[in-house]
A and B are shown apart, each in its own frame.
Chain A
Amino acid sequence: MIADALAGGFTEAPVQSARAFREVLEAMARPGTIHRVTGARPPLPVSVAAGVTLLTLCDGTTPLHLAGEADTPAVRDWIAFHIGAPLVAADDADFALGLWADLQPVSRFRIGQPDYPDRSATLIVEVDRLANHGPALTGPGIETATWLSLPETRTFRANRALFPLGFDTIFTCGDRLAALPRSTRVEAI
């Protein structure tokens, strides 16, 4: 049990986190594009991509919320050893990890303040399917339009309406990830 918690982190953190971040950066800069990342072997049910994202962005200064199925003793141990992020309730979190259903209601998460919109949560949402079809996305980072399989549209449209406030989302599925920043307009379905 403990041995599992000690394994599965980056073996060469400076270079692995640099490559991983570059993919996350491209994902956030180009909403809807799907990127492959490697280097983490987190305990189930956490996906490789979610593990890589946590290792790359989180540390002892970033309160993290584990929602529903993601909140297991094995996951807590792994995060405690590799990341050291304090585990907190949803409304205090900088980052949150879980299934879309488990993260509900997302209105609990911080959306920033009018003078500091950056003080908002980033949701890492584990999804079963990540593909470039579904609702149309437009906005900064997208030349004309793109498509992404979203768990729903209503919440993301409401989040866009709060701009420049709002949360930002990273979808993870296996070793792939895509991002949906608050600036993206989501087509109504």
Chain B
Amino acid sequence: MSEPGSGVSGADAYNFAYLDEQTKRMIRRALLKALAVPGYQVPFASREMPMPYGWGTGGVQVTAACLVPEDRLKVIDQGADDTTNAVSIRKFFSRTAGVETTEHTAEATLIQTRHRIPETPLRKGQILVYQVPIPEPLRFLEPRETETRKMHELEEYGLMHVKLYEDIARHGQIATSYAYPVKVEGRYVMDPSPIPKFDNPKLGDNPAIQLFGAGREQRIYALPPWTKAVSLDFDDHPFQASKAPHDCDLCGAAHSYLDEVITDDRGGRMFVCSDTDFCTGRQAAGHRGRLSPQEGL
């Protein structure tokens, strides 16, 4: 095994973090502009990556541009460290960048995530990289890029409020439960990627740097630390960060985001934390849920 970035030594030698230097410079310039204009989607020349679109090519490129050899990388997919997407991206960077990896949120310096924000609060010195499928919050309301760009330019977000209002008219409440739009620093409406709206309150005033990469759509955007990101709502229908009304069946956590797991074909089900690191950490600390294995068995 060669030192990271030490150049060619055998067929397995990649440039540090896979991408070539010119590509990384291009992504880095886009990242700086994204931080300077929080919530604005900066176009970038997304590259083909050795994985299909939809598997986090945007997040991977942002991660590659930010990684340093001293980093400790964590990758989660819907909160889990042990799913195919998370495992393969972790292996990708431990091979091409030689970085250490971890499953513990508190130990990680860079976390790439698909559709969750970890339950453990992030801190200064950490970077959270989101994989984004559709970066444009207005895309399903207005398919033309020329028009949505003009709408962002003019700060014309009435259509988004109409959409949320129609939710209320039809369902009696705002039915949007993931990819819930936020307004950043009172200017740009931003898609926080398909995180559950339960995670929206963690977007704003977060001490970590949050970077968003959309590979197929070729956009990068960012939330600097301590940035205001307010979920859109109405005075009489305030935003609510909802979750399944249960406790975790393994660790008993009452305030974490839960996945529903079907356990048999007779209606049996259980609810478990979507954040596997958070759940195993709580179990290790002695917390128990409804369906935890009995001690001593």
Spell out A's residues near B (CB within 8 Å): 12-15, 17-19, 21-22, 24-26, 28-30, 56-59, 61-62, 94, 114-118, 120, 122, 139-143, 163-164, 168, 181-183
A29 touches B37 (CB 8 A): no
B32 touches A140 (CB 8 A): no
Segment with Cβ contacts to A, from B84-92, B146-154, B230-238, B267-275: B146-154
| Beyond known contacts A25-B127, A57-B29: 10 more, CB 8 A cutoff | A14-B21, A15-B69, A17-B25, A19-B68, A21-B65, A25-B32, A25-B66, A59-B22, A116-B149, A118-B42
B29 touches A62 (CB 8 A): yes
B54 in contact (CB, < 8 A): no
Interface positions of B from 57 to 102, Cβ below 8 Å from A: 65-69
A182 touches B149 (CB 8 A): no
Task: Point out the residues of chain B lying under 8 angstroms from A19, CB to CB.
Answer: 68-69
Give CA–CA (A181, B4) in the complex, Å: 32
B5 touches A115 (CB 8 A): no
A21 touches B21 (CB 8 A): no
A30 touches B224 (CB 8 A): yes
Q: Which residue of A lies closest to B38 (CB)?
A: A140
B43 in contact (CB, < 8 A): yes
Task: Point out the residues of chain A lying under 8 angstroms from B42, CB to CB.
Answer: 118
B30 in contact (CB, < 8 A): yes
Shortest distance between the CB of A60 and any CB in chain B (Å): 8
Give CA–CA (A78, B268) in the complex, Å: 70
Q: Which residue of A lies closest to B97 (CB)?
A: A18
Give chain B's interface secondary structure class. mixed
Q: Which residue from A18, A58, A122 sits with its C-beta under 8 Å from B68?
A: A18
Give CA–CA (A24, B25) in the complex, Å: 12
A12 touches B5 (CB 8 A): yes
B209 touches A29 (CB 8 A): yes
A28 touches B35 (CB 8 A): yes
Q: How many A-B residue pairs have CB under 8 A?
A: 121
- Are A140 and B185 CB-contacts (below 8 A) given A14-B15, A25-B66, A29-B225? yes
B150 touches A182 (CB 8 A): no
15 contacts between A and B (CB under 8 A): A14-B15, A15-B68, A18-B16, A18-B24, A18-B67, A25-B35, A29-B224, A57-B32, A118-B33, A122-B32, A140-B38, A140-B226, A164-B187, A168-B33, A182-B37
B36 in contact (CB, < 8 A): yes
B22 touches A118 (CB 8 A): no
Give CA–CA (A57, B5) in the complex, Å: 18
B28 in contact (CB, < 8 A): yes
A181 touches B67 (CB 8 A): no
- Are A17 and B21 CB-contacts (below 8 A) given A22-B66, A115-B150, A122-B32? yes
B227 in contact (CB, < 8 A): yes
Q: Which residue of B lies closest to A60 (CB)?
A: B22
A181 touches B35 (CB 8 A): yes
Task: Point out the residues of chain B lying under 8 angstroms from A29, CB to CB.
Answer: 35, 209, 222, 224-225
Task: Point out the residues of chain B lying under 8 angstroms from A115, CB to CB.
Answer: 149-150, 152-153
B168 in contact (CB, < 8 A): no
Give CA–CA (A110, B180) in the complex, Å: 34
Q: Which residue from A25, A58, A142 sits with its C-beta under 8 Å from B209?
A: A25
Q: Which residue from A13, A141, A143, A163 sits with its C-beta under 8 Å from B35?
A: A141
Give CA–CA (A25, B34) in the complex, Å: 11
Give CA–CA (A30, B35) in the complex, Å: 9
B26 in contact (CB, < 8 A): yes
Shortest distance between the CB of B3 and any CB in chain A (Å): 9
Shortest distance between the CB of A25 and any CB in chain B (Å): 6
B40 in contact (CB, < 8 A): yes
Task: Point out the residues of chain B lying under 8 angstroms from A21, CB to CB.
Answer: 24, 28, 65-66
Interface positions of B from 212 to 241, Cβ below 8 Å from A: 222-228
Give CA–CA (A51, B26) in the complex, Å: 18
Task: Point out the residues of chain B lying under 8 angstroms from A22, CB to CB.
Answer: 66, 68
